[in-house]
Homo-oligomer: A and B are copies of this chain.
Amino acid sequence: MKLANRSMVTIDDLSNGEVLALFSLADEMSISMKEQHGLCGGKIMASLFFEPSTRTRLSFEAAMHRLGGSVITASDVGATSLAKGESIADMARVVGSYADIIVIRHPWEGAAKVVADYAGIPVINAGDGGHQHPTQTLCDLFTLKKERGTIKGLKIALWGDLKYGRTTHSLIFALAKFGADILFCPSPGLEVPEHVIDKLITEYGGEVEHYKDSEVEEETLFPLDAVYTTPSSPHQLAMMPDISLHVELKSGVDALYVTRPQKERFTTGEEGKDLKKEYPVVDKKLLRDKAFRQTLVMHPLPRVDELAYDVDADKRSMYFKQAARGVPVRMALLALLLGVKDVKIPEVESPSPIDYHIYNRVSGLRCPNSRCVSIQETETKYLKPEFKIVNYEPLTLRCVYCEHGIEPKFVASADWHEGKLDTKKYHSADSHWVHTIKPENLIVFNTEEEARAHGFKPSHFTGGHR
Protein backbone atom coordinates (compact mmCIF):
# COMPACT_ATOMS: atom_id res chain seq x y z
CA MET A 1 0.00 0.00 0.00
CA LYS A 2 1.45 3.29 -1.08
CA LEU A 3 1.33 6.51 0.90
CA ALA A 4 1.60 8.78 -2.14
CA ASN A 5 -1.40 11.04 -2.75
CA ARG A 6 -3.05 10.17 0.53
CA SER A 7 -4.04 12.65 3.22
CA MET A 8 -3.45 12.63 6.96
CA VAL A 9 -6.48 14.00 8.77
CA THR A 10 -6.44 11.80 11.87
CA ILE A 11 -3.84 9.51 13.34
CA ASP A 12 -6.01 6.59 12.15
CA ASP A 13 -5.15 7.44 8.54
CA LEU A 14 -1.87 5.57 8.96
CA SER A 15 -1.66 1.92 9.96
CA ASN A 16 0.83 0.91 12.62
CA GLY A 17 3.11 -0.47 9.94
CA GLU A 18 2.97 2.78 8.00
CA VAL A 19 3.80 4.78 11.11
CA LEU A 20 6.83 2.59 11.77
CA ALA A 21 7.98 2.87 8.16
CA LEU A 22 7.65 6.64 8.40
CA PHE A 23 9.76 6.59 11.57
CA SER A 24 12.51 4.65 9.77
CA LEU A 25 12.53 7.22 7.02
CA ALA A 26 12.57 10.09 9.55
CA ASP A 27 15.56 8.47 11.23
CA GLU A 28 17.36 8.08 7.95
CA MET A 29 16.62 11.70 7.01
CA SER A 30 17.75 13.15 10.33
CA ILE A 31 21.12 11.45 9.88
CA SER A 32 21.67 12.86 6.39
CA MET A 33 19.78 16.17 6.37
CA LYS A 34 21.82 17.71 3.57
CA GLU A 35 21.18 14.88 1.15
CA GLN A 36 17.41 15.44 1.33
CA HIS A 37 17.62 18.89 -0.25
CA GLY A 38 16.99 17.70 -3.78
CA LEU A 39 13.92 15.59 -3.02
CA CYS A 40 11.14 18.17 -3.42
CA GLY A 41 12.63 20.66 -5.90
CA GLY A 42 9.77 22.26 -7.80
CA LYS A 43 7.10 21.08 -5.33
CA ILE A 44 4.94 23.58 -3.46
CA MET A 45 3.48 23.17 0.01
CA ALA A 46 0.60 25.49 0.95
CA SER A 47 0.71 26.31 4.63
CA LEU A 48 -2.76 27.52 5.68
CA PHE A 49 -3.00 28.54 9.33
CA PHE A 50 -6.34 29.91 10.44
CA GLU A 51 -5.27 29.87 14.08
CA PRO A 52 -2.19 31.31 15.76
CA SER A 53 0.84 29.06 15.63
CA THR A 54 4.57 29.50 15.37
CA ARG A 55 5.90 26.14 16.23
CA THR A 56 3.86 23.85 14.04
CA ARG A 57 3.83 26.14 11.02
CA LEU A 58 7.55 26.85 11.12
CA SER A 59 8.27 23.16 11.71
CA PHE A 60 6.34 22.17 8.57
CA GLU A 61 7.86 24.98 6.54
CA ALA A 62 11.37 24.11 7.72
CA ALA A 63 10.70 20.47 6.80
CA MET A 64 9.60 21.43 3.29
CA HIS A 65 12.62 23.70 2.83
CA ARG A 66 14.98 20.96 4.06
CA LEU A 67 13.51 18.83 1.27
CA GLY A 68 14.27 21.63 -1.21
CA GLY A 69 10.60 22.45 -1.78
CA SER A 70 8.82 25.80 -1.83
CA VAL A 71 6.18 27.13 0.54
CA ILE A 72 3.24 29.47 0.12
CA THR A 73 1.78 30.67 3.41
CA ALA A 74 -1.45 32.17 4.68
CA SER A 75 -0.95 32.54 8.38
CA ASP A 76 -3.40 35.13 9.51
CA VAL A 77 -7.16 34.71 9.64
CA GLY A 78 -7.77 38.40 9.09
CA ALA A 79 -5.66 38.45 5.95
CA THR A 80 -7.62 35.77 4.14
CA SER A 81 -10.55 35.68 1.83
CA LEU A 82 -12.46 33.66 4.40
CA ALA A 83 -13.21 37.06 5.82
CA LYS A 84 -15.21 37.62 2.65
CA GLY A 85 -17.46 34.68 3.55
CA GLU A 86 -15.78 32.01 1.45
CA SER A 87 -16.32 28.37 2.28
CA ILE A 88 -13.56 25.97 3.23
CA ALA A 89 -14.38 23.78 0.22
CA ASP A 90 -13.89 26.66 -2.24
CA MET A 91 -10.64 27.64 -0.58
CA ALA A 92 -9.47 24.03 -0.71
CA ARG A 93 -10.28 23.65 -4.39
CA VAL A 94 -8.52 26.86 -5.35
CA VAL A 95 -5.38 26.30 -3.27
CA GLY A 96 -5.43 22.69 -4.43
CA SER A 97 -4.91 24.00 -7.95
CA TYR A 98 -1.88 26.08 -6.89
CA ALA A 99 0.09 23.71 -4.67
CA ASP A 100 1.14 20.05 -4.46
CA ILE A 101 0.25 19.50 -0.82
CA ILE A 102 -1.72 21.44 1.80
CA VAL A 103 -1.01 21.76 5.52
CA ILE A 104 -4.04 23.19 7.31
CA ARG A 105 -4.75 24.41 10.82
CA HIS A 106 -8.26 25.58 11.51
CA PRO A 107 -10.37 26.30 14.61
CA TRP A 108 -13.34 24.29 13.33
CA GLU A 109 -13.32 20.60 14.16
CA GLY A 110 -13.44 18.50 11.03
CA ALA A 111 -12.16 21.34 8.81
CA ALA A 112 -9.11 19.34 7.71
CA LYS A 113 -11.37 16.52 6.50
CA VAL A 114 -13.33 19.00 4.36
CA VAL A 115 -10.11 20.34 2.87
CA ALA A 116 -8.95 16.79 2.16
CA ASP A 117 -12.32 15.98 0.55
CA TYR A 118 -12.17 18.93 -1.86
CA ALA A 119 -8.54 19.88 -2.50
CA GLY A 120 -7.66 17.16 -4.97
CA ILE A 121 -4.13 16.98 -3.51
CA PRO A 122 -2.77 15.45 -0.27
CA VAL A 123 -3.74 17.30 2.89
CA ILE A 124 -2.15 17.21 6.33
CA ASN A 125 -4.14 18.22 9.40
CA ALA A 126 -2.02 20.55 11.54
CA GLY A 127 -4.74 20.86 14.16
CA ASP A 128 -8.50 21.27 13.74
CA GLY A 129 -10.00 22.85 16.86
CA GLY A 130 -10.07 20.44 19.77
CA HIS A 131 -10.27 17.45 17.44
CA GLN A 132 -6.86 16.15 16.35
CA HIS A 133 -3.30 17.18 15.68
CA PRO A 134 -1.89 13.98 14.22
CA THR A 135 1.62 15.12 13.29
CA GLN A 136 2.24 16.24 16.86
CA THR A 137 1.25 12.74 17.82
CA LEU A 138 3.73 11.31 15.32
CA CYS A 139 6.48 13.39 16.96
CA ASP A 140 5.40 12.13 20.39
CA LEU A 141 5.34 8.49 19.29
CA PHE A 142 8.64 8.92 17.47
CA THR A 143 10.26 10.13 20.69
CA LEU A 144 8.80 7.22 22.71
CA LYS A 145 9.96 4.77 20.05
CA LYS A 146 13.47 6.21 19.91
CA GLU A 147 13.88 6.42 23.69
CA ARG A 148 12.25 3.12 24.64
CA GLY A 149 12.62 1.05 21.47
CA THR A 150 8.92 0.16 21.45
CA ILE A 151 5.56 1.67 22.29
CA LYS A 152 3.70 -1.55 23.07
CA GLY A 153 3.30 -2.16 26.77
CA LEU A 154 4.55 1.26 27.86
CA LYS A 155 2.76 2.95 30.72
CA ILE A 156 2.05 6.58 29.83
CA ALA A 157 0.55 9.15 32.19
CA LEU A 158 -1.36 11.97 30.48
CA TRP A 159 -1.34 15.10 32.56
CA GLY A 160 -3.30 18.35 32.67
CA ASP A 161 -5.94 19.48 30.21
CA LEU A 162 -7.25 16.26 28.73
CA LYS A 163 -10.49 17.89 27.63
CA TYR A 164 -9.41 20.50 25.10
CA GLY A 165 -5.90 19.30 24.28
CA ARG A 166 -6.19 18.06 20.71
CA THR A 167 -2.65 16.76 20.86
CA THR A 168 -3.81 14.59 23.73
CA HIS A 169 -6.77 13.15 21.83
CA SER A 170 -4.66 12.16 18.84
CA LEU A 171 -2.07 10.70 21.22
CA ILE A 172 -4.60 8.66 23.19
CA PHE A 173 -5.77 6.85 20.06
CA ALA A 174 -2.25 6.36 18.82
CA LEU A 175 -1.06 4.89 22.11
CA ALA A 176 -4.07 2.59 22.14
CA LYS A 177 -3.34 1.47 18.59
CA PHE A 178 0.19 0.57 19.54
CA GLY A 179 -0.85 -1.23 22.72
CA ALA A 180 0.34 1.16 25.44
CA ASP A 181 -1.49 1.55 28.75
CA ILE A 182 -2.65 5.03 29.61
CA LEU A 183 -3.13 6.71 32.97
CA PHE A 184 -5.42 9.75 32.82
CA CYS A 185 -4.35 12.50 35.20
CA PRO A 186 -6.53 15.48 34.35
CA SER A 187 -6.79 18.79 36.07
CA PRO A 188 -10.24 18.74 37.80
CA GLY A 189 -12.94 19.59 35.27
CA LEU A 190 -10.67 18.93 32.31
CA GLU A 191 -11.22 15.18 32.01
CA VAL A 192 -11.06 13.20 28.76
CA PRO A 193 -14.34 13.74 26.82
CA GLU A 194 -16.86 10.92 26.67
CA HIS A 195 -16.61 10.54 22.89
CA VAL A 196 -12.91 9.82 23.19
CA ILE A 197 -13.49 7.25 25.93
CA ASP A 198 -16.25 5.66 23.84
CA LYS A 199 -14.00 5.34 20.81
CA LEU A 200 -11.24 3.87 22.98
CA ILE A 201 -13.57 1.14 24.19
CA THR A 202 -15.40 0.36 20.96
CA GLU A 203 -12.49 0.66 18.55
CA TYR A 204 -9.43 -0.35 20.45
CA GLY A 205 -11.08 -2.94 22.65
CA GLY A 206 -9.31 -1.97 25.84
CA GLU A 207 -10.89 -1.23 29.15
CA VAL A 208 -11.24 2.04 31.00
CA GLU A 209 -11.37 2.03 34.78
CA HIS A 210 -12.49 5.20 36.53
CA TYR A 211 -11.31 6.14 39.98
CA LYS A 212 -13.21 7.87 42.66
CA ASP A 213 -11.41 10.56 44.54
CA SER A 214 -11.36 8.49 47.70
CA GLU A 215 -9.50 5.64 46.07
CA VAL A 216 -6.52 7.65 45.00
CA GLU A 217 -6.50 10.36 47.59
CA GLU A 218 -3.72 9.03 49.78
CA GLU A 219 -0.12 8.78 48.84
CA THR A 220 -0.93 9.42 45.24
CA LEU A 221 1.77 10.92 43.11
CA PHE A 222 -0.64 12.61 40.82
CA PRO A 223 -4.36 13.22 40.35
CA LEU A 224 -5.26 9.92 38.70
CA ASP A 225 -8.73 9.85 37.22
CA ALA A 226 -8.93 6.79 34.98
CA VAL A 227 -6.77 4.08 33.51
CA TYR A 228 -7.04 2.68 30.03
CA THR A 229 -5.55 -0.76 29.54
CA THR A 230 -4.96 -2.37 26.20
CA PRO A 231 -6.42 -5.79 25.38
CA SER A 232 -3.17 -7.64 25.74
CA SER A 233 -2.56 -6.35 29.26
CA PRO A 234 -5.94 -6.25 30.97
CA HIS A 235 -4.82 -7.67 34.28
CA GLN A 236 -1.59 -5.90 34.52
CA LEU A 237 -2.93 -2.78 36.01
CA ALA A 238 -6.26 -1.67 37.21
CA MET A 239 -8.24 -4.80 36.46
CA MET A 240 -6.71 -6.83 39.29
CA PRO A 241 -8.19 -5.58 42.52
CA ASP A 242 -5.47 -7.20 44.60
CA ILE A 243 -2.78 -5.11 42.98
CA SER A 244 -3.28 -1.66 44.36
CA LEU A 245 -2.94 1.31 42.15
CA HIS A 246 -0.20 2.79 44.27
CA VAL A 247 1.93 -0.30 44.08
CA GLU A 248 1.42 -0.26 40.36
CA LEU A 249 2.47 3.34 40.02
CA LYS A 250 5.49 2.74 42.15
CA SER A 251 6.69 0.20 39.64
CA GLY A 252 7.37 3.17 37.41
CA VAL A 253 5.80 5.24 34.69
CA ASP A 254 7.45 5.30 31.27
CA ALA A 255 6.39 8.80 30.35
CA LEU A 256 4.62 11.78 31.86
CA TYR A 257 2.91 13.65 29.04
CA VAL A 258 2.17 17.16 30.29
CA THR A 259 -0.11 19.66 28.54
CA ARG A 260 -0.94 23.29 29.15
CA PRO A 261 -4.50 24.45 29.86
CA GLN A 262 -6.02 25.25 26.43
CA LYS A 263 -7.56 28.44 27.75
CA GLU A 264 -8.46 29.67 24.28
CA ARG A 265 -11.02 26.86 24.06
CA PHE A 266 -12.46 27.23 27.56
CA THR A 267 -16.16 27.94 27.87
CA THR A 268 -17.28 31.08 29.68
CA GLY A 269 -17.74 29.20 32.93
CA GLU A 270 -14.32 27.61 32.74
CA GLU A 271 -12.48 30.86 32.04
CA GLY A 272 -12.98 32.06 35.59
CA LYS A 273 -11.23 29.02 37.06
CA ASP A 274 -8.21 29.58 39.20
CA LEU A 275 -5.94 27.21 37.34
CA LYS A 276 -2.87 28.21 39.27
CA LYS A 277 -4.31 26.42 42.25
CA GLU A 278 -5.75 23.32 40.69
CA TYR A 279 -3.52 22.65 37.73
CA PRO A 280 -0.87 20.06 38.55
CA VAL A 281 2.72 21.23 38.10
CA VAL A 282 5.59 19.01 37.07
CA ASP A 283 8.83 20.15 38.66
CA LYS A 284 12.12 18.89 40.01
CA LYS A 285 10.56 17.99 43.35
CA LEU A 286 7.86 15.79 41.83
CA LEU A 287 10.38 14.01 39.67
CA ARG A 288 12.44 13.01 42.70
CA ASP A 289 9.99 10.20 43.42
CA LYS A 290 11.26 6.70 42.74
CA ALA A 291 8.36 6.01 40.36
CA PHE A 292 9.73 8.63 37.99
CA ARG A 293 13.34 7.51 38.02
CA GLN A 294 13.17 6.41 34.39
CA THR A 295 10.23 8.57 33.32
CA LEU A 296 10.42 10.58 30.14
CA VAL A 297 8.99 14.08 30.68
CA MET A 298 7.12 15.07 27.55
CA HIS A 299 5.21 18.20 26.53
CA PRO A 300 3.91 19.35 23.13
CA LEU A 301 4.85 22.98 24.00
CA PRO A 302 4.23 25.84 24.42
CA ARG A 303 4.24 25.50 28.20
CA VAL A 304 2.88 28.03 30.62
CA ASP A 305 3.15 27.18 34.33
CA GLU A 306 2.50 23.44 34.36
CA LEU A 307 6.10 22.46 33.64
CA ALA A 308 8.83 24.16 35.67
CA TYR A 309 12.01 25.47 34.10
CA ASP A 310 14.05 23.66 36.74
CA VAL A 311 13.38 20.42 34.84
CA ASP A 312 14.92 21.68 31.58
CA ALA A 313 18.44 20.51 32.29
CA ASP A 314 17.27 17.06 33.47
CA LYS A 315 18.18 14.26 31.09
CA ARG A 316 14.64 12.85 31.38
CA SER A 317 13.26 16.03 29.76
CA MET A 318 12.22 15.26 26.22
CA TYR A 319 10.19 18.30 25.19
CA PHE A 320 12.83 20.16 23.23
CA LYS A 321 13.84 16.88 21.58
CA GLN A 322 10.19 16.29 20.67
CA ALA A 323 10.11 19.70 18.99
CA ALA A 324 13.40 19.18 17.18
CA ARG A 325 12.33 15.75 15.95
CA GLY A 326 9.24 17.35 14.42
CA VAL A 327 11.32 18.42 11.45
CA PRO A 328 12.56 14.97 10.27
CA VAL A 329 9.17 13.39 11.09
CA ARG A 330 7.38 16.01 8.97
CA MET A 331 10.00 15.72 6.24
CA ALA A 332 9.30 12.00 6.06
CA LEU A 333 5.55 12.53 6.00
CA LEU A 334 5.74 15.21 3.27
CA ALA A 335 8.08 13.08 1.15
CA LEU A 336 5.81 10.04 1.44
CA LEU A 337 2.53 11.81 0.70
CA LEU A 338 4.13 13.72 -2.19
CA GLY A 339 5.37 10.39 -3.52
CA VAL A 340 9.01 11.46 -3.85
CA LYS A 341 10.07 8.67 -1.50
CA ASP A 342 8.75 5.18 -1.10
CA VAL A 343 9.20 2.88 1.86
CA LYS A 344 8.64 -0.76 2.61
CA ILE A 345 5.79 -1.11 5.12
CA PRO A 346 6.67 -3.65 7.82
CA GLU A 347 4.01 -6.24 8.59
CA VAL A 348 2.89 -5.49 12.10
CA GLU A 349 -0.39 -5.93 13.90
CA SER A 350 -2.68 -2.92 13.47
CA PRO A 351 -6.28 -2.57 14.54
CA SER A 352 -8.44 -2.79 11.42
CA PRO A 353 -10.70 0.20 10.89
CA ILE A 354 -14.32 -0.72 11.65
CA ASP A 355 -16.67 -0.44 8.69
CA TYR A 356 -19.53 1.39 10.39
CA HIS A 357 -22.81 2.01 8.69
CA ILE A 358 -23.09 5.60 7.40
CA TYR A 359 -26.12 7.71 8.30
CA ASN A 360 -26.67 10.72 6.09
CA ARG A 361 -30.42 11.16 5.81
CA VAL A 362 -31.94 14.62 5.96
CA SER A 363 -33.90 14.14 9.14
CA GLY A 364 -33.11 17.26 11.09
CA LEU A 365 -30.15 15.63 12.82
CA ARG A 366 -27.12 17.89 13.03
CA CYS A 367 -23.89 17.60 14.93
CA PRO A 368 -24.32 18.96 18.48
CA ASN A 369 -20.72 20.23 18.63
CA SER A 370 -20.74 24.01 18.18
CA ARG A 371 -17.17 23.91 16.83
CA CYS A 372 -17.96 21.29 14.19
CA VAL A 373 -17.28 22.40 10.62
CA SER A 374 -20.52 20.77 9.41
CA ILE A 375 -22.80 23.27 11.15
CA GLN A 376 -21.02 26.53 10.29
CA GLU A 377 -23.01 29.00 8.22
CA THR A 378 -20.58 29.14 5.30
CA GLU A 379 -20.31 25.35 5.14
CA THR A 380 -23.94 24.24 5.39
CA LYS A 381 -24.43 25.52 1.83
CA TYR A 382 -22.76 22.38 0.53
CA LEU A 383 -22.06 20.04 3.46
CA LYS A 384 -24.71 17.51 4.47
CA PRO A 385 -24.55 16.13 8.05
CA GLU A 386 -23.07 12.63 8.03
CA PHE A 387 -22.58 10.16 10.86
CA LYS A 388 -21.26 6.69 11.55
CA ILE A 389 -23.58 4.44 13.54
CA VAL A 390 -21.06 3.27 16.11
CA ASN A 391 -23.36 1.67 18.67
CA TYR A 392 -26.91 0.38 18.95
CA GLU A 393 -27.18 0.11 22.74
CA PRO A 394 -27.47 2.96 23.38
CA LEU A 395 -27.93 4.06 19.79
CA THR A 396 -24.90 6.27 19.14
CA LEU A 397 -23.93 8.17 16.00
CA ARG A 398 -20.52 9.75 15.51
CA CYS A 399 -20.11 12.81 13.31
CA VAL A 400 -17.75 11.95 10.46
CA TYR A 401 -16.22 15.45 10.67
CA CYS A 402 -15.51 16.23 14.31
CA GLU A 403 -16.09 12.69 15.69
CA HIS A 404 -18.36 13.94 18.46
CA GLY A 405 -21.02 11.44 19.54
CA ILE A 406 -24.77 11.91 19.58
CA GLU A 407 -27.45 9.64 21.05
CA PRO A 408 -30.72 10.28 19.21
CA LYS A 409 -33.92 9.64 21.16
CA PHE A 410 -36.18 8.28 18.42
CA VAL A 411 -35.98 5.99 15.41
CA ALA A 412 -38.13 5.20 12.43
CA SER A 413 -37.80 3.15 9.26
CA ALA A 414 -37.58 4.44 5.71
CA ASP A 415 -38.75 1.10 4.35
CA TRP A 416 -41.88 -0.04 6.15
CA HIS A 417 -44.14 2.82 5.44
CA GLU A 418 -43.75 3.00 1.70
CA GLY A 419 -47.16 4.01 0.48
CA LYS A 420 -48.73 3.04 3.76
CA LEU A 421 -48.95 6.24 5.71
CA ASP A 422 -50.51 4.64 8.76
CA THR A 423 -47.36 2.60 9.32
CA LYS A 424 -45.15 5.70 9.28
CA LYS A 425 -44.33 5.55 12.99
CA TYR A 426 -41.46 6.48 15.23
CA HIS A 427 -40.19 4.57 18.24
CA SER A 428 -37.99 5.14 21.22
CA ALA A 429 -34.32 4.63 20.41
CA ASP A 430 -33.99 2.35 23.43
CA SER A 431 -36.81 0.06 22.32
CA HIS A 432 -36.22 -3.18 20.40
CA TRP A 433 -36.93 -1.37 17.16
CA VAL A 434 -33.40 -0.06 16.97
CA HIS A 435 -32.31 -3.64 16.29
CA THR A 436 -35.29 -4.48 14.08
CA ILE A 437 -34.92 -1.68 11.52
CA LYS A 438 -32.25 -2.42 8.93
CA PRO A 439 -29.34 0.06 9.21
CA GLU A 440 -29.82 1.20 5.61
CA ASN A 441 -33.44 2.13 6.42
CA LEU A 442 -32.83 3.74 9.78
CA ILE A 443 -34.10 7.26 10.37
CA VAL A 444 -33.27 8.99 13.64
CA PHE A 445 -34.70 12.01 15.42
CA ASN A 446 -33.62 14.00 18.42
CA THR A 447 -37.12 15.04 19.41
CA GLU A 448 -40.71 13.99 18.84
CA GLU A 449 -41.28 17.35 17.15
CA GLU A 450 -38.68 16.49 14.52
CA ALA A 451 -40.25 13.11 13.97
CA ARG A 452 -43.71 14.62 13.57
CA ALA A 453 -42.35 17.33 11.27
CA HIS A 454 -41.20 14.54 8.98
CA GLY A 455 -44.69 13.02 9.00
CA PHE A 456 -44.21 10.28 11.59
CA LYS A 457 -46.62 9.35 14.37
CA PRO A 458 -45.71 7.92 17.75
CA SER A 459 -45.80 4.11 18.07
CA HIS A 460 -46.41 2.17 21.28
CA PHE A 461 -42.67 2.19 21.75
CA THR A 462 -41.84 5.79 22.35
CA GLY A 463 -41.01 5.05 25.99
CA GLY A 464 -41.24 7.67 28.65
CA HIS A 465 -40.97 10.29 25.99
CA ARG A 466 -44.55 9.83 24.83
With a CB–CB cut-off of 8 A, which chain B residues contact A72? 58, 61-62, 65, 71
Q: Is the CB of A98 within 8 A of B59?
A: yes
- Closest chain-B Cβ to A32's Cβ sits at a distance in Å of 12
Q: A303 near B: Cβ within 8 Å?
A: yes
With a CB–CB cut-off of 8 A, which chain B residues contact A83? 52
Q: Tell me the A319-344 residues at the B interface (CB within 8 Å).
A: 320, 323-324, 326-327
With beta carbons under 8 angstroms apart, the residue of B55, B70, B90 that contacts A303 is B90
- Closest chain-B Cβ to A139's Cβ sits at a distance in Å of 12
Q: Is the CB of B42 within 8 A of A37?
A: yes
Q: Tell me the A72-100 residues at the B interface (CB within 8 Å).
A: 72-76, 78-86, 90-91, 93-95, 97-99
Q: A392 near B: Cβ within 8 Å?
A: no
With a CB–CB cut-off of 8 A, which chain B residues contact A327? 97-98
- Report the separation of the CA atoms of residues A308 and B91 in the bound assembly, to the nearest whole angstrom: 15
With a CB–CB cut-off of 8 A, which chain B residues contact A84? 52, 260, 264, 302, 304
Most chain B CB within a 10 A radius of its CB, from A71, A85, A98: A98
With A99-B62, A302-B84, A304-B84 given, is the CB distance from A74 to B54 under 8 Å? Answer: yes
Q: A381 near B: Cβ within 8 Å?
A: yes
- Report the separation of the CA atoms of residues A95 and B326 in the bound assembly, to the nearest whole angstrom: 11
Q: A34 near B: Cβ within 8 Å?
A: yes
- Report the separation of the CA atoms of residues A249 and B6 in the bound assembly, to the nearest whole angstrom: 47
With A66-B44, A382-B309 given, is the CB distance from A55 to B94 under 8 Å? Answer: yes
Q: Is the CB of B54 within 8 A of A91?
A: yes
- Report the separation of the CA atoms of residues A197 and B180 in the bound assembly, to the nearest whole angstrom: 63
With a CB–CB cut-off of 8 A, which chain B residues contact A71? 72
Count this chain's copies in the assembly.
3
- Closest chain-B Cβ to A102's Cβ sits at a distance in Å of 11
- Closest chain-B Cβ to A49's Cβ sits at a distance in Å of 7
- Report the separation of the CA atoms of residues A312 and B260 in the bound assembly, to the nearest whole angstrom: 43
Q: Is the CB of B95 within 8 A of A54?
A: yes
With beta carbons under 8 angstroms apart, the residue of B42, B85, B94, B320 that contacts A94 is B320
Quick one: closest B residue to A74, CB to CB? B54
With A54-B74, A309-B382 given, is the CB distance from A302 to B93 under 8 Å? Answer: no
Q: Is the CB of A58 within 8 A of B95?
A: yes
Q: Is the CB of A65 within 8 A of B80?
A: no
With a CB–CB cut-off of 8 A, which chain B residues contact A323? 93-94, 97
Q: Tell me the A23-48 residues at the B interface (CB within 8 Å).
A: 33-34, 37, 41-42, 44, 46, 48
Given A52-B81, A65-B70, A90-B303: 11 more A-B contacts, CB < 8 Å: A52-B83, A53-B79, A53-B81, A62-B99, A76-B76, A76-B78, A81-B302, A84-B264, A84-B304, A85-B304, A97-B324
- A residues contacting B by CB (< 8 A) are 33-34, 37, 41-42, 44, 46, 48-49, 52-55, 57-59, 61-62, 65-66, 68, 70-76, 78-86, 90-91, 93-95, 97-99, 260, 264, 301-305, 308-309, 312, 320, 323-324, 326-327, 381-382
Q: List 6 A-B contacts (CB under 8 A).
A: A55-B94, A58-B98, A65-B70, A75-B79, A86-B303, A93-B323
